[in-house]
Structure 1
């Protein structure tokens, strides 16, 4: 074990990191996933500049062009009030990524902290945390989200809260499993005998061994959060119109099937593209770190 004040990176760690990067770089599916995720992030960040009709992300109404089929002017057609669907899909990525950042930004730290505490301290701490986690895991996430979403107003913050309310449980259980195993290792016992504090052992000895599984789980969860958020929006419990949201766009477009098929197809393709991107990247990271989640 390195001394408490040591900051140098050993050659073994550098070699392990280099081997992990080489595994990732040699995986074409992982590289494709990374490219797709970057493209989604790029579209979300620069939506006002790359969307063909950025004004259509708001309250713009043009009944003269409503339900226009895909054409050179509107590549993905227009919706029921004449707004360009491609522009709204691009802006919809903003809502999806904000949902991912908000939900996982809440769920991952809470779940990781509880999992670390349960795995390291054991005893009553482990019993209480694992018991509460198991109870929360027994509640279907969609049912809880629907219950919370039906009580609260339709805002992005409330949608994040509704999803994050149960999402932390998966990270708590995963980190608990890893922390429980690592806490029994000799280097943790050596740190304890050397007088290291509980906080030091948790953050400097155990947590780094959980980073790989947390990274993989978080990336894979991003895809599920996007799909989950789209489901809530589809059911009318997502963000409030006219904010472009992929799930609500699918819900609006289904009213005019099969004639105006583009109103459903292109927002659905946006959901499919974003979820596939994070799934491919997550699989690549799993192979890179050689972990199971």
Structure 2
């Protein structure tokens, strides 16, 4: 009996699939670094009024006596052309960027996922209509389409969200469609049909849970691209209008004073790079952790 108990206690521990996934994630330095960056960006956006050394710089404040000040202990990222603290505006700019991410993905992801589920499950003419329309939208140049929409509408955060959302759902539709088509012949789907389950039950209780991992990875990767896309619109003058602090607008305004006053464009640009890098590293880590293809 003693030998048996020692053998059992010395037996290797069998990890669950969730524990194995977390083990892979925590052993991925790039993924952990990305998670830390994302957490820092979220904290900076939420607590911007508390963290910003000059919260009034987020508005239309002017201080011409301190304009074009280089980075220093008083102004970590320098000041802009009207004397506003660049670091404070970057913190508030993260609020705009994350608001854009939440607004765009909060609409595009559910819409695209539902279309992908319906197209993959029902097939036939439903699949043909949805997927051909998706292909047409995918054929349109995203930036050119967004520029056209924001040029017609007045440039603001809501219209920037609309412009990006009208194109972003397509990738989620293609992704979910591919997954559902591969799952349609699985035993659990056939068993649900034989048990008399409704279409809604099969779509949202059977098929959708098997897409969650891919959706989570895709969303984390998309967040960085939405930030970059929104900054591109603002840089071209069709995004958020001043004095609202927006990273793309700050880069565009600061570029007029390059190279002498480089910090006005470089610092907001590094802030965009920082956030985009964080979301991409996190997405890559989640993809390795969940072992999915997106």
Which runs of 5 or more structure 2 residues have no equivalent in the other structure? 1-14
Q: Distance in 2 between matches of 1:82 and 1:89?
A: 14
Q: 1:210-243 deviations in whole A, cap 9, x for unaligned?
A: 1111111110000100000000000001112100
Q: Distance in 2 between matches of 1:117 and 1:47?
A: 41
RMSD (Å), alpha carbons: 0.8
Structure-to-structure mapping, 1:169-180, within 5 angstroms: 169-180=170-181
Corresponding position of 2:226: 225
Matched, 1:97 2:61: no
Q: How far did residue 129 of structure 1 move? A: 0.5
Q: Distance in 1 between matches of 2:155 and 2:206?
A: 42
Corresponding position of 1:276: 277
Q: How far did residue 29 of structure 1 move? A: 1.0
Q: 1:174-193 deviations in whole A, cap 9, x for unaligned?
A: 00000111122111011011
Corresponding position of 1:68: 69
Corresponding position of 2:37: 36
Q: 1:1-46 deviations in whole A, cap 9, x for unaligned?
A: xxxxxxxxxxxxx811121111111111111111110000000000
Corresponding position of 1:210: 211
Q: How far did residue 154 of structure 1 move? A: 1.5
Paired residue secondary structure (1:210) = helix
Q: TM-score, normalised by structure 1?
A: 0.94
Q: Distance in 1 between matches of 2:30 and 2:73?
A: 32
Runs (4+) of structure 1 moved beyond 4 Å? none
Structure-to-structure mapping, 1:116-135, within 5 angstroms: 116-135=117-136
Structure-to-structure mapping, 1:113-192, within 5 angstroms: 113-192=114-193
Corresponding position of 2:253: 252
Q: Distance in 1 between matches of 2:24 and 2:71?
A: 41
Q: TM-score, normalised by structure 2?
A: 0.94
Q: Which has the larger radius of gyration?
A: 2
Corresponding position of 1:19: 20
Which runs of 5 or more structure 1 residues have no equivalent in the other structure? 1-13
Q: Distance in 2 between matches of 1:154 and 1:58?
A: 18
